[in-house]
Amino acid sequence: RSSPKPIHAYEDYSNDALEALAHSDPIACLVLGRRLAVTDPETAWDLMIRSSALLGGDTRPVKWLATHSFNQVTDNGEMATDAMQLRYVLDALTRRLDNDPDPTFDFREYHLRDALNDAEFARLDRMVDSLLHKMKVIEAETTGSSTIGGAG
């Protein structure tokens, strides 16, 4: 029996080859970001944000990262507040890009309200603003203009 066919030809590329393409290729960013999500989450974060920016604000790379890299419950069943904060930032980003409410976003905010004060929420919201700005800069530097909405 043969192994499953790769989803994209880039699945067969080395990490070094994908890294060389990632500056301007959103699919290279996506494939490499998925590979690195567990072993190097900070790099995966940057790659998925870049992929989304290069795709004009398409939220699928960010949603994948949020879903696969930031488990909200610890092994003992408690809420993982640090991971939930990062998930909150990614969800807020996609919410602003899509202008489409996600009902699970309210669940996370509700649980974070017990752990964070207003100043800490403001810090998270500034992170979202910063990511939106970064995405617009990436798109403009690569394509000459930005079509990404959501303020920031």
Range list of H helices, 22-80: 26-36, 41-54, 60-69
For residue 13, pLDDT beyond 70: yes
Cα-Cα-Cα-Cα dihedral sign, residues 52, 62, 59, 98: negative
> Which two structure tokens, joined as six digits, stand for 140?
């403009």
Looking at per-residue pLDDT, the higher value among 147 and 7 belongs to: 147
Name which of 18-27, 41-50, 101-110 the model is least confident about: 101-110
Q: Does residue 54 have a pLDDT over 80?
A: yes
- Answer whether residue 28 shows pLDDT above 70: yes
Q: What average pLDDT is seen over the chain?
A: 86
Contact 73, 108 (CB under 8 A): no
Q: What is the pLDDT of residue 133?
A: 96
pTM of the model: 0.85
Max avg pLDDT among 7-11, 118-122, 127-131: 127-131
Q: How far is CA 63 from CA 13, 69, 94, in A?
A: 23, 10, 7
Higher pLDDT among residues 82 and 134, named by residue: 134
**Percentage above 90 pLDDT, the chain:** 54
Question: How far is residue 93's CA from residue 9's CA, in Å, rounded to a whole number?
Answer: 29
User: Which of helix, strand or coil describes residue 72?
Assistant: coil
Q: Is the dihedral of CA 140, 99, 107, 114 positive or negative?
A: positive
